[in-house]
Structure 1
Amino acid sequence: MLALLTGCPRSGTQLLTRLCNTHPEVRITMEFGSLRTLWMPPKFLALHQIHAFWSRKFPIIHDGHGDWRSRRAWLSSYKFLLRFLWALRRFRYQDVGPRQLESVYRDVTGCKIVGDKLPAYVLSLEQYVLIENLKVVVIHRHPAAVIRSYLELVQGNWRRIPTLNRFNNEVEVAKLWAQSVGILRRHWESVLPISYERLCEDPVGECRKLGEWFDIEPEGFDLSCVQAPKPLPRFSDEVLGQIREVVHEECSFLGYELD
């Protein structure tokens, strides 16, 4: 079964991926971008995946336990890439669609549920929900927490990424959140929505949903990677008013309150 994990950046996609990878029947790559190149020739896919691998500052594969940036995780990622490219050779005379991609992933990992996590997938959700047998999971999180986390990275590790320069204030990040949630709303019945807050407060219940969605035993998930969320940040009245104007409709839909 091919799976896609996504959500607005800083909504908990990384936590969701790590949790999924603790299950013995699941292996999800971390922002490998493999679902961006569906129905492309294998040579194009191979070049794209090599570039995606070397452009990342973190491993693309991890079993969900321990330090996900460890040397062991990097070694596993190198091995995964080489085996992925080798398995791709079987389809060198045809375009690589969902069925072929799933076959490559399963050859490499030996897992029942395979796929990729990438926040950017949410912007193309209308295309992915049309793919037969593709299981899409979208995680959402309170906009205040997303805004805080996003700005911390834009002002820190992401400050040298030119494409993110415009997301340098609360309102711009709020617009990105509203856009992502708006897309999720339109396809709510076609995906599995996961609440970051509920995942942290009731991981057993949310893992039960994941188990049903993927048709696997929910007891296989290791909940030790799930921790309590940080308290929500507070904004000035002026900034809060600007944020509320952008996100009020989506907040109402998801049941979030802005104080």
Structure 2
Amino acid sequence: MHLIISGHQRSGTTLLRRLCDGHPQMKVANEFGCFADMGLTVRQAWAARWAQWRLVNGRWAFDSQFATDPRRHWHNFWFTLRYGWHLAQMAHGPVTVEAVAGALEMLWPETAVVGDKLPQYMPLLPQLSKNKESHIVVIYRDCRDVTSSFLEKVRTVWRTREWAKEVDTAEKIAANWVNHIVLMEKLADDIHIIQYEQLVQEPEHVLNGLASWLDVDPAGFKPQTIKMDSLGKHRKGLTEAELAEVTAVAGPTMRRLGYK
């Protein structure tokens, strides 16, 4: 079984991936991006993953067992090399979801659930969800907290990214968030949806539901590792003007989702 985790940036995808990857029956790569290669040739898919390896450059580990290893760059290199080798064995023609999942299964044999987490999978979900073997989880969060956290990043570590100017105001981020929610709701019948606030406040309930959906042992999750200190951070992170921009753009959608 393969798992795809996505959601708007700063919505809790990292927390959800960590919880899933920490389950003894699951291994979930960290923003490797392999499910974005559908329809490419194997050579093109290899090139795309090598580009991701160069971009990441050891800032995080594709495989979390090397997350604290100072040689993450080289572990990512071998991870990418091994994945490419397995993909070449699995793909017969254009790359498919099944080929990607098969390559991950060969990387992590005897693991019930394998997958990858990447916020940028969101626009690809209509295509990915057509595969009935795909188990897709989307996590969403209060637009105000998303905007606050996103602005902090885009003004610091993300400021040199090519796409930064497209989402460098509260209004732009809120509009992007609304688009993600609309897409999530359209796919609701084919995916599993988790609210970040509920995950943090009622972790056992949410994780039991996820375990049932994935057919894994709920006892394998570690809800005690979840912290609640990230709720409501927009109160300090957004100005009154920025909060007004978010409310003007995303207010109706937020109210529909139960955010006051």
TM-score by length of 1: 0.90
Structure 1, residues 67-109: CA drift from partner, whole Å, max 9, x if none? 8343375554343223212212314642221122111111111
1-side partners of 2:24 and 2:71: how far apart? 18
2-side partners of 1:241 and 1:195: how far apart? 23
Aligned to 1:190, the other structure's residue is in SS state coil
Structure 1, residues 175-215: CA drift from partner, whole Å, max 9, x if none? 11111111111112221111111111111111111111211
Task: State the Cα distance separating 1:162 from its structure 2 match.
Answer: 2.3
User: Does the CA contact (< 8 Å) of 1:62 and 1:76 recur in 2?
Assistant: no
Aligned to 1:89, the other structure's residue is in SS state helix
2-side partners of 1:160 and 1:224: how far apart? 36
Task: State the Cα distance separating 1:42 from its structure 2 match.
Answer: 1.3
Partner of 1:242: 245
Structure 1, residues 113-143: CA drift from partner, whole Å, max 9, x if none? 1111111111232222212210000000111
Partner of 1:90: 89
Structure 1, residues 6-54: CA drift from partner, whole Å, max 9, x if none? 0011101111111110011111111111111113221111111111122
2-side partners of 1:89 and 1:126: how far apart? 25
Partner of 2:189: 189
Task: State the Cα distance separating 1:225 from its structure 2 match.
Answer: 3.2
Identity of aligned residues (%): 24
Q: What does 1:114-129 align with in structure 2 at a 5 Å threshold? A: 114-129=114-129
1-side partners of 2:106 and 2:124: how far apart? 27
Task: State the Cα distance separating 1:222 from its structure 2 match.
Answer: 2.1
Letter aligned with residue 101 of structure 2: E
List runs of 5+ in structure 2 lacking aligned partners.
none
Letter aligned with residue 119 of structure 2: P
Question: In the superposition, relative to structure 1, how do residues 253 and 94 fare at CA in structure 2: closer, same or farther (>3 Å)?
Answer: same
1-side partners of 2:126 and 2:251: how far apart? 23
Task: Please say if 1:40 is aligned against 2:40.
Answer: yes
Letter aligned with residue 101 of structure 1: V
Which stretch of the first structure deviates more once superposed, 83-92 or 148-157?
A: 83-92
Q: What does 1:196-235 align with in structure 2 at a 5 Å threshold? A: 196-230=196-230, 231-234=232-235, 235=238
Q: What does 1:158-169 align with in structure 2 at a 5 Å threshold? A: 158-169=158-169
Which stretch of the first structure deviates more once superposed, 35-44 or 100-109?
A: 35-44
Structure 1, residues 52-73: CA drift from partner, whole Å, max 9, x if none? 122113211214xxx8343375
List runs of 5+ in structure 1 lacking aligned partners.
none
Aligned to 1:166, the other structure's residue is in SS state helix
Partner of 1:101: 100
User: Does the CA contact (< 8 Å) of 1:21 and 1:27 recur in 2?
Assistant: yes
User: Does the CA contact (< 8 Å) of 2:142 and 2:259 recur in 1?
Assistant: yes
Task: State the Cα distance separating 1:167 from its structure 2 match.
Answer: 1.8
TM-score by length of 2: 0.90
Question: In the superposition, relative to structure 1, how do residues 224 and 95 fare at CA in structure 2: closer, same or farther (>3 Å)?
Answer: same
2-side partners of 1:48 and 1:113: how far apart? 24
Aligned residues: 254
User: Does the CA contact (< 8 Å) of 2:211 and 2:217 recur in 1?
Assistant: yes
User: Does the CA contact (< 8 Å) of 1:32 and 1:49 recur in 2?
Assistant: yes
2-side partners of 1:255 and 1:116: how far apart? 29
